[in-house]
Amino acid sequence: MSNRKGWVKLHRKIVDNPLWQEKPYDKAHAWLDLIMLTNSQETKISLKHGDEIRVMRSELFTSVRFLCERWGWTRPKVDRFLNRLESNGMIKQKSFPSGTAIKVLNYDKYQGKQN
């Protein structure tokens, strides 16, 4: 039996590893990927039409199309997965014409406080 207390540190560069990039992702892999894609600090993103949005720590701004390609999933599968995460209180999502905003709830629980 493994000890399930404490932290496991993963650097975001793990996503560059060919093992991480094998497709299709399973649901646990996709969930960890969302956490890794989430901003660790506030940032501004420029959109195609010159608009700029603020993306806070614990949030990401993406597209379902991007997630489909990244995870090797169909759009209905990504939609079902995101809706399941939302119904389980793991994320909140909001769609915009230019993309989807996703907030990872309890982000600090997964990432701890920044030092």
Q: What is the CATH number of the domain that holds 53?
A: 1.10.10.10
Cβ–Cβ under 8 Å, residues 58 and 107: yes
pLDDT at 75: 97
pLDDT at 81: 98
Cα–Cα dist 87/81, whole Å: 10
pLDDT at 109: 81
Would 36 be classed as within a structural domain? yes
pLDDT at 90: 96
pLDDT at 2: 62
Residue 43 in 3-state DSSP?
strand
Question: Structural domain tally of the chain?
Answer: 1
Would 72 be classed as within a structural domain? yes
- The pLDDT profile of the chain, 115 residues, written as one tens digit per residue, is 566 777 777 888 999 999 999 999 999 999 999 999 999 899 998 887 778 889 999 999 999 999 999 999 999 999 999 999 999 999 999 988 889 999 999 988 877 765 5
pLDDT at 113: 62
Would 88 be classed as within a structural domain? yes
> What one-character-per-residue DSSP string does 55-97 give?
E-TTEEEE-HHHHHHHHT--HHHHHHHHHHHHHTTSEEEEEET
